[in-house]
Structure 1
Amino acid sequence: MQVRWVVIVSVGILIAVGLGAVGAIFMLEEPQRKKASVKLEKKENVQGGKGGSSVGSKGSKTETKRDKRESSRDRERKVAGTIPKPNATKPPNIRLRRQEFEENEVVVANPRDGFASRVATLGFFIIEETRLENLNITLVRLTVPTGMTPPEATQLLLREFPGLITDVNTVYDQLAGPAVKTHSFARWAIGWPPSRPGCGKGVKLGMIDSPVDTKHPALKGQKVTFKWFHNKERKPGNANHGTAVAAMMVGKPSEDGFGGILTEAQLFAANMFEVNDRGKTIGNAMGLLKSLDWLSTQKPHAINLSVAGNNNKVIQLAFKKARELKLVMIAARG
């Protein structure tokens, strides 16, 4: 992580220096351009004084001089790079808004008796009902009424069921990670010495991420238990990010002595990421909650979550239950 920040700071300095240098060049050239422009205008004014500038037969001369001045300024602007080259095409700088929640879906925690029949009359349809035994949460996923957005649907549910814990089915992104390599240098990155026999023995770790390739050279033979918690109607996300994180946590020592942080720890890894209908890899609240419930039964010493997304009331409840079970959850940031 230290190395990562050093690289980021270094790149930032290089960009700053680069921009400063460009700015300095234009600052040095600006007086010269102004000086040349003033001389040119003075010369044209003198010529205009001799020839006159009255409207009529001499008007065309005035227009010709104005055209010359504009052409001269255009040449200066081209030097400064403010006029695009002919036929130059530049795509518009469009930033697509990230998907914040699953379309047409909301989630509810611990609904009351008679909930199913009442929401049906409101236009909701129950897609899935799951019992998270260890977290003591009954989880319900519903489609929203036709013509209603998920945020609007949650407001309707709250009006009909005051005090109900409900929210949109929040979408989560993976936090960027390194490419997977055979040898992990995580210990070196945080300043730890090479791994020694017995490092991490007896420790249980959990992680909620993308799939983990347990046959990868860095993980083959390590104590890794992996389970799927994505929507089975969708394809799972690729294993690049999850495998990289797992290798940093418990990857076997390499030939030079470095390896994962705790090479002999036991890792329980859960996948919550899947490919949606748009072809984008995402996670959602349902996958996160199911993963957390399974991990809570394994009693890990710490759980790593490499996910990024908005706040969610149902997940807040699950995290509260997890803390009551003495679980330590560590969320990546950045």
Structure 2
Amino acid sequence: MHRDWIRTIALAAMIALGLAAFFSLHGLEAAELPTLEVGFPEDGVFGLGGQYIIDKQLDRKNGFIVKPRWAGVPEIQRLMGIGAIQLGLAVSEVSLRANLGGTPIRLVQPYQVPHIFVLVPKDSPYKDVLDLKGKAIALTGETTSLYNMFDYIMKKRGVNIESDYKLKKLGAPVIIAVLEKGEVDGAVLWEAHVSRLLVSGKYRTILGFREEMEKLLKGEVVFLNYVGAVESWIKQNPEMISKIRATWAAASRGVQEDEAHFQKYAKRFFGLENPDEISLAWKRTRPTLAPADLKWPNPSGLEAQRKYLREATDLGIFPKEAKEIVDKLFVP
């Protein structure tokens, strides 16, 4: 009995020592990893990807820890600008304007392609966006990526959206409200708002930005959003760039294959609860993530992004000074 008791004590001591060593090593590992504060919007696919990074610990696998800062897109840009966060959602058009305003945001890794569509009532006569000339269209304001890209697409078709359409510049909930009330003839919206409206059976799409941009840029993909950082931080932390790229590339690949993750967070990030809406939104959202086999940066891909912004500047969408910034905008 005495001998058994000694063995029990010895075994318990060994287990305790083993557990202490395990937690000590893991605590040390966590303490040694740098923590990066990252701005994520609490809606949309970029936020969904951020949650995927956290849930799957993709950050730790690549040598750092993400501390999320959930905020609206303008607030994320402001926080990056003042150095309150190291990384965050960035879009090329808004980042270009930020640079013109003195905030040198740089684009590190693409995450998503355009997921924006022009919708019209299903029973309307409009088959092409040109059919809406002279009609009322609801969309976001002129400082947004949606507005700038729509402006570019239509200027390439010889259309001035400010004079050829009756624009109502609104936020997403109000855009949907005026469309449903029949106060506008069309609306420019993004996923998953589009899926929700399509499931109702009352609307259809007549233009997709991704397809249109690929036509204009000879098959090259133009990206809608990126993970971005301020230039000074990038220069001080060059060793982090490959780790950041690997993390967001893995998130993009993972999210587009993980339907359960989408379903779990559909209400939080997209306001979706109806099973039919969730199912359609999943099918339509998957293709909007960066291609799973994307190698970034690559010369042709970078040149496509730069070409779009240069041409947009030539078309008067951005001030002429923007051309001097375009090449510096993307981290090589």
Do both share a fold (TM > 0.5)? Answer: no
Bin of the TM-score, shorter chain as denominator length:
under 0.3
Whose strand fraction is larger, Structure 1's or Structure 2's?
1
Whose helix fraction is larger, Structure 1's or Structure 2's?
2
Q: Which of structures 1 and 2 has the larger relative contact order (alpha carbons within 8 angstroms, sep 6+)?
A: 2
Give the TM-score normalised by the residue count of structure 1.
Answer: 0.20
Give the TM-score normalised by the residue count of structure 2.
Answer: 0.20
